[in-house]
Chains A and B, each alone.
Chain A
Amino acid sequence: MDLIIINIIDGLIYGLLLFMLSSGLTLIFSMMGVLNLSHAAFYMLGAYFAYQISLVIGFWVGLIVAPVLVTILGALVERYGLRRVHQYGHVPELIFTFGLFFVIEESVQYIWGRNMVPYNSPESLNFIAINLAGGSIPAYKVFMLLVSVAIFVALYYVLARTRIGMIIQAALSYPKTVEALGHNVPLVFMGVFGVGTGLAGLAGVIAGPSLTTFPGMAFLLGSIVFVCVVVGGLGSLTGAFLASLLIGWLQTFAASYNIGAADILIAMGYEYPKDVYYHPWRDLWTLTLPQIGPILPYLLLILVLVFRPYGLFGRRDS
């Protein structure tokens, strides 16, 4: 029972981290109508920037400055890269972001090397915050949780309750009309792209010390973020939120329980083979849930696309 509660909390922390990435991605998608394939690269940049700053000044300065740097970089990419490519249609945009991913990934390896870097959580958060029957949750994880929740609330407030949010939402759906009303739509786009990548950067800053800062981090998390966005429905913030939590829990619980195919087969009435290592069905008999855990989100992705092609909360049908 205690394990279940701990798993729920762990899954929540992981899911909210995914949300920080997928929220920016889904906003950018609503805007451009195109997936930003380089999104996870900005996540990695956030972590490496924060690492560099933490070496010189400290973790807390990095927490603020690194996402700002990533935001500026993202805005520059939109202003001088994507905006030019935009006029040629969606495919060039997609290819542009695809190329950008590798450029950023290789640049990071060139500057910081191919080994992992020692980017660690600050001393002041190196204590156990919660103790739950045999398992402990470090203060840094609680801090991650709080930052993610704060971002979710702030994002929701800005988009739903402020004038800027109304203009953004209007510009997403009816750019021509909003432009006719005298608003600078390209600036809105630049801002959304900047903030979207900045959110990815912030996710990197807080995930770096927990999930390790190394050159493969973008690739490792990148694919799963697309799953969150597509399952939630492209362009839907609520969808991205729920899908991120769902996938966070799915992965955590799948890795937690060693339910094997053998258990199910025995329950179905089959007999466990005597020398399982030489059995023709050995791979099936020895299969366990944690081993198939990483592919479960992709299975979900396929099922959602088959039964609800627009995702759980998607509205776009163009």
Chain B
Amino acid sequence: MKIFKKLTAMVMAIGVLIGSSAFADTVKIAFIDPLSGPFATTGSNGLAEWKFAVEKLVNEKGGVLGGKKMEVVALDNKMDGKESLIQVQVAIDQGIRFIAQGNSSGIANAITDMVKKHNKRNPDKRVIFINYSAVDPALTNDKCNFWHFRFDANADIKMDAITDVIAQVPSIKKMYLIGQDYSFGKAVAAAAEKYLAEKTSINIVGNELHPIGKVKDFTPYARKILASGADAVITGNWGADMVNLGRSLSESGFKGPIYCYYCASNGITGTFGAAGKGMLHLVGEGLHNPATPELTAYHKAFKAKYPKWDLSQPRIINAAQMLAAAINKAGTADDMVAVASALEGMEFDSKLLGTKVLMRAKDHQAIQNVHVGIHTDDVEIDYDNSGYGIKIFKTVEMASMDSATSCKMKRP
């Protein structure tokens, strides 16, 4: 079996080498995310967004370096850390210099370590890591390095934005924090405690973690939240845990808002439908509604090509364009020090998403407008083809622009 696997890998590698040599004049981005297994939908959705962004926003506008096309090479990491590192190596061996990954901060941590080591040992074959979704704050703090760039707002920035918005809602006096019992759930709870105490006098009436993916019926949790007298809930839940929590709360008679990180797209918006109207408050960059005319046209073209998928990770639009701009500015797609230096500190005017994006030089964290949006059917751009989507409720301009970082960047 192992020999068979190795053989197929070799055959595939040879095929790829032959295939790639025919298009040797393209600038390749290796997309490394789950394309099979339970998380395949998230990965496949991201891949569609990347391919479309590169095609529409870079290649159709003349490509990079005076006519070179950019190309997204999909590599399946099966949502596994080890497999991801193998795929990074595969990409490097193919001569790919840009690695894009986003699903799971655990995997992003592993990749950033590997990239750092690889670049130190192989100065002639350096690569850049484009992190388009992993939100663990550590990646741009203690674990930061010159080769890593994050285009999403990290978990702390998002909480900063949520609490900015909450501070403006005077009816919220009691808050309940609930999350999945693992690192991300704990990080959300800790950030919420910190920011709520700094900015508001809101009383935290509950702070609990439930077993991840094991709670069958959230009704008792909903009863408890109701009994605590909470006016609002903050949760980092995703997947079925998010839907079941939200649904139990609305069924039990909870009327307040639920502030959430991952309560849209991937079937969640469609499943909530009318039940989530006015209840779900999603935090994120690049929320669509109201949409700029450019974004409406872009979305329409995207849907024509990928009717099944959503523009669920809008920062990909920025990442593709900013990378192209950095390559053009550096005048090379081979010297990674030049490209990374061009990307560092870059200010980009994202017309599609209606925001400025600043790639902060001190930690490589993208600073951009972060919104809190409400789940509603009053939208131009929907999710899950359900007629429901997220409409912007409040915007925090250039969120956490001056936030501190523990990053001590070492530059080559």
Could you tell me which A residues sit within 8 Å of B by CB distance? 3, 6-7, 10, 14, 113-120, 128, 131, 134-136, 138, 140-141, 210-212, 214-217, 220-221, 224, 251-258, 288, 290-291, 293-294
Contacts and interface: CB of A to CB of B under 8 A. Distances in A.
Contacts of A120: 271, 273, 275
8 contacts: A3-B227, A10-B223, A114-B41, A115-B266, A128-B253, A141-B251, A216-B213, A255-B224
Nearest to A119: B271
Contact of A258 (B41, B208, B226): B208
Given A6-B223, A258-B208, A251 B217 contact: yes
Contact of B221 (A119, A131, A134, A255): A255
Interface string B264-302: 001110110101000000000000000000000000000
B213 A290 contact: no
A217 B243 CA distance: 13
B211 interface: yes
B220 A10 contact: yes
B38 interface: yes
Contacts of B215: 255, 294
Nearest to B36: A114
B223 A135 contact: yes
Contacts of B395: none
A44 to B, nearest CB: 13
A185 to B, nearest CB: 37
Contact of A118 (B209, B251, B252, B386): B386
Contact of B214 (A117, A135, A212, A220): A220
Contacts of B244: 211-212
A102 to B, nearest CB: 13
Contacts of B221: 255-256, 290
Given A10-B220, A256-B224, A291 B209 contact: yes
B6 interface: no
Contacts of B338: none
B267 A115 contact: yes
A14 B41 CA distance: 30
A118 B224 contact: no
B41 A113 contact: yes
A281 B151 CA distance: 38
B226 A7 contact: no
Contacts of A221: 216
Closest 3 CB pairs of A and B: A115-B267, A136-B253, A255-B220
Contact of A114 (B38, B217, B219, B251): B38
A291 B224 CA distance: 14
Given A115-B41, A128-B253, A211-B217, A291 B243 contact: no
B210 interface: yes
Contacts of B224: 3, 255-258
B40 interface: yes
Interface string B181-218: 10000000000000000000000001011110111110
B267 A117 contact: yes
B240 A134 contact: no
Nearest to A288: B208
Nearest to A6: B223
B247 interface: yes
B224 to A, nearest CB: 6
Given A118-B273, A211-B217, A214-B240, A134 B253 contact: yes
Interface of B: 38-41, 181, 206, 208-211, 213-217, 219-221, 223-224, 226-227, 239-240, 243-244, 247, 251-253, 266-268, 270-271, 273, 275, 384, 386
B47 to A, nearest CB: 15
**Residue among A120, A136, A253, A255 with max Cβ neighbours from chain B (10 Å):** A255
A253 B223 CA distance: 11
A5 B223 CA distance: 11
Contacts of B226: 134-135
A135 B240 contact: no
A291 B266 CA distance: 27
Contacts of A252: 217, 219-220
Given A114-B40, A117-B267, A118-B273, A290 B210 contact: yes
Contact of B216 (A114, A115, A251, A288): A251
Contacts of A251: 216-217, 220
A212 B247 contact: yes
Nearest to B210: A290
A4 to B, nearest CB: 10
Contacts of A217: 240
Nearest to B224: A256
Contacts of A253: 220
A7 B211 contact: no
A7 B217 CA distance: 12
A164 B201 CA distance: 68
B220 A256 contact: yes
Given A131-B253, A255-B215, A255-B220, 14 more contacts: A116-B267, A118-B270, A118-B273, A136-B252, A211-B216, A220-B214, A255-B210, A256-B221, A290-B221, A291-B181, A291-B209, A291-B210, A293-B211, A294-B215
Contacts of A113: 41, 267
Contacts of A290: 208, 210, 221
Contact of B243 (A114, A136, A212, A256): A212
B243 A220 contact: no
**Residue among B41, B216, B226, B227 with max Cβ neighbours from chain A (10 Å):** B216
A221 B219 CA distance: 16
B216 A224 contact: yes
Contacts of A257: 224
Nearest to A138: B251
